[in-house]
Structure 1
């Protein structure tokens, strides 16, 4: 799997973690799922960013990276 896709998948986990946190808070239970999603999302995104041969990703270029990556996989 390519690092760009892993980076984007890691970033997708972060809003899901927020939703899980709000859900746990509303139900008055411990946010274990949110903590796991944050750990996995940040871990995958950090690993993909720091092992990228071109260097760490620039946050301003994430939309362009997302479009290029989706286009690359859509074309296959």
Structure 2
């Protein structure tokens, strides 16, 4: 099963959102956020893959609809 662009976009956004608190936590503890930055780069790669593989890319207004479509696909 190949990853379609909608799923890649949502995974990239969710993973990127979850990496931000890890970066802040590492900085507040005085550690280098190497793992968190690596996760953020992976998330950026997923979003870039999604944007480049969908003709015309994504608009910001489409993201909630894409999110609900991906979630509904996995719940059904």
Alignment of 1:44-59 (within 5 A): 44-52=46-54, 54-59=55-60
How many residue pairs match? The answer is: 74
Verify the 8 A CA contact 1:17 1:38 in the aligned structure 2: yes
- Runs of 4+ aligned structure 1 residues displaced above 2 Å come to none
Q: TM-score, normalised to structure 1's length? A: 0.87
Ranked by relative contact order (alpha carbons within 8 Å, sequence separation 6 or more), the top structure is: 2
Gaps of 5+ in 2: none
CA-to-aligned-CA distance 1:18-54 (integer Å, 9 cap, x gap): 11111101210101022111110011111111111x3
* Correspondence list, 1:1-76, <5 A: 1-52=3-54, 54-75=55-76
